[in-house]
Amino acid sequence: MGYRSLLRDHRGLLGIAFLAMFSSSLGQSFFVGLFQVPMAEHLGLSTGQFGTAYASVTLVAGFAMLRFGPTIDWINPRRFAATVLLLLLVGILLLTLSPWWGLGILGLGLVRMCGQGMLTHLGNTLAGREFTALRGRAMGLISLGLPLGEIALPPLVALALVWLGWREFWWLMCALLAIPWLWLLAKGPWPKAPGVKPSRAQRRQGPQPFKDKHFWRLLPLLMSLPVTMTGLFIYQAQMTTALGSSLTVYALALSGMGLAKLPGALLGGRWIDRIGPVRLARFYLLPYALAMGIALVMGGDISVWALMVGGGLAMGAQELVATGLLIKLWGSEHLGRVRSALSASMVFSTGIAPALLGIALDAGLSFQMILMGMLGFIVLAWGLAQGVLNTARQADRPDE
């Protein structure tokens, strides 16, 4: 069965998961960053204070994911989605209307937790759990919601802000997204609750990712792409200067990255169904690693394009590979718990990585040396994960 048949037979469930992924854009860094200056002015914070607050609420959101993310393993998905959307709305109202900076930062935290955290968690878990033989293609389709937001929303913001203030634009986005969400909550083909809430003793008997050596050996491989790409995003000025390019070229290449995620997701979904997540995990970072080699050897505009496009191709397949491996190793019945641990780890690492890179730059390391370190990290993570991938390949689960 191809993508066309999948859409014909399962468009309702795919639509729910896709909309969750697209709606998560409201909490993603790329979207919040578009309003950094007016937000900081509204909250009465300096640029540095806003950055500190942003990093702090992101880390708190990671801890919250550990606490509340696993509930999707037993709570009815419709109820889970309604709760997350309500909290997201509360966060947006606090962020845009609160006259006190404390409540505004609380609102920002809710936006980050419910947007980037819980809505992506909802979309990926639904697709990963409700589909079996077609899991790769299903996850490839729903993951297109993220690059669609990255491609469509920045120019829409630039156009809309000619007539609207930043707060009015957030309210407009809420109203536009409320239309399909209200219809889906009322009429959508939601799956039933996957199980009953386990007792405390049962939860202790289930998977404990942070106590499992397989999780720790796999984690660097799954973290290497988001951690290093976050560094490139944050220190884009230093990167373009060191490579002999410009921020204008970077802005264009960033759009190229969003477009590259589309074939990355669609091809990745097809390959996962054909060869399985284990085999794809062995080479999906290859375009990004080759791009780093090009950047180190050639420099110039081509290197910036290579990094963004190579990173985009790999990012398109990232969630498909991660979810497939988690199911292969721990089973779909525990996907919410294990994905929560992975999501929290991603949040922590992407929050700490910019600080470490900033220290390295302040210490006088060139960006070329940092790129070499990033490439070395990817190679080391790939080697560390091979034993776990072999274990996953031999796992007695019908997911590959």
pLDDT given at position 263:
87
- Can you give the pLDDT at residue 81? 94
Burial of 278 (0-12, 13-18, 19+ CB in 10 A): buried
The Cα–Cα gap between 365 and 187 comes to 56
Tell me the longest C-alpha to C-alpha distance in the chain.
58
Task: Give dist(CA 79, CA 91) in Å, integer.
Answer: 18
CA atoms within 13 A on the CB side of 229: 25
The runs of H, that is alpha helices, within 206-299 are 213-234, 236-242, 247-275, 277-283, 286-297
CATH number of 1-197: 1.20.1250.20
Residue 16, C-beta contacts closer than 8 angstroms, at least 6 positions apart: 77, 81, 123, 126, 184, 188, 189, 190
| CA–CA distance, 17 with 127 (Å, rounded to integer) | 7
CATH of domain 206-400: 1.20.1250.20
Domains of the chain, residue spans:
1-197, 206-400
What is the DSSP secondary-structure string of 63-104? Answer: HHHHHHGGGGGTS-HHHHHHHHHHHHHHHHHHHHH-SSHHHH
Fold identical between 1-197 and 206-400?
Answer: yes
Local confidence pLDDT in tens for the 400 residues of the chain: 577 777 777 888 899 999 999 999 898 877 887 787 788 888 888 767 777 788 788 888 888 888 888 888 888 899 999 999 999 999 999 999 988 888 999 999 999 889 888 898 899 888 888 887 677 888 888 888 888 888 888 888 888 888 888 899 999 999 999 999 999 999 988 988 776 666 665 556 667 888 889 899 999 999 999 888 888 877 777 888 889 988 888 878 888 888 898 888 888 888 888 888 889 999 999 999 999 999 999 889 999 999 999 999 998 888 888 888 888 888 877 787 888 888 788 777 766 777 777 788 888 888 889 999 999 999 999 999 998 898 888 764 544 4
